[in-house]
Every structure is written in structure tokens, then in C-alpha cells.
Amino acid sequence: MKLPGIDGIEKCRKLRADEQTHSIPVIMISAFEDMTTEAIEAGADDFFSKPSTMEEAFIRVRSAFRIRHLTNELDRAVAYIQELEKNLPNL
């Protein structure tokens, strides 16, 4: 959560605000347990406190990428349906 020159919460907000980085999964890790709500409100996909195991970190990262992949598939399906609807004659 503490980074040189900027904290993790503000960095997360900037990533979410930027069109090029808004969909990158963000998992925040901190020694401060009381930051969960603030991290999620800033746009983090997940948050957990140190100490934790590498296994937990790996599982959370894998889960975030799986969710992002499924979200991307859903977005493509919605766009496809919208395109089909646009090309249908009015009934």
C-alpha cells in the first residue's frame, strides 16, 4: 500500500481511470488489515493482508485472471448480440 511517491490506493485509482490499464487485475497486499474497504472502493479486484503464503497469493492471482478472462468473454458476447440486434429488421 505504501509506494515511493504515491500510495497503493491512489495508484489503483489511476490505473482504473486510464483507458489502457483499467482492465488490468489489481490485487493489493498490505500489513494493514483495515484497508480492505478502501482498496476495494479504489477499484482493487482483491485485497489481503500480510503475512500470507505464496500459495494464497498464487490462488488469488489465478482467480483474478480467471475472472478477468470471463468478463472479457462476456463483454465480447454482449457486443456480438448488440451487433446482431442492430442488423435485424424491425419486427
pLDDT for 91 equals 56
Q: What percent of the chain has pLDDT over 70?
A: 95
Cβ atoms of 8 and 30 within 8 Å: the answer is yes
Closest CA to 26 of 34, 59, 13, 55: 13
pTM: 0.70
Which is higher by pLDDT, 90 or 66? 66
pLDDT for 10 equals 92
Domains of the chain: 2-87 (3.40.50.2300)
Give the C-alpha separation, 33 to 20, whole Å. 30
Residue 79: C-alpha distances to residues 69, 72, 76, 83 (Å): 15, 11, 5, 6
Rounded mean pLDDT, 50-61 = 88
Whether the predicted pLDDT of 65 surpasses 80: yes
pLDDT tens digit sequence for 5-25: 888 899 999 999 999 999 889
79 half-sphere exposure, CB direction, 13 A CA radius: 6
Longest alpha-carbon distance in the chain = 60
pLDDT for 73 equals 95
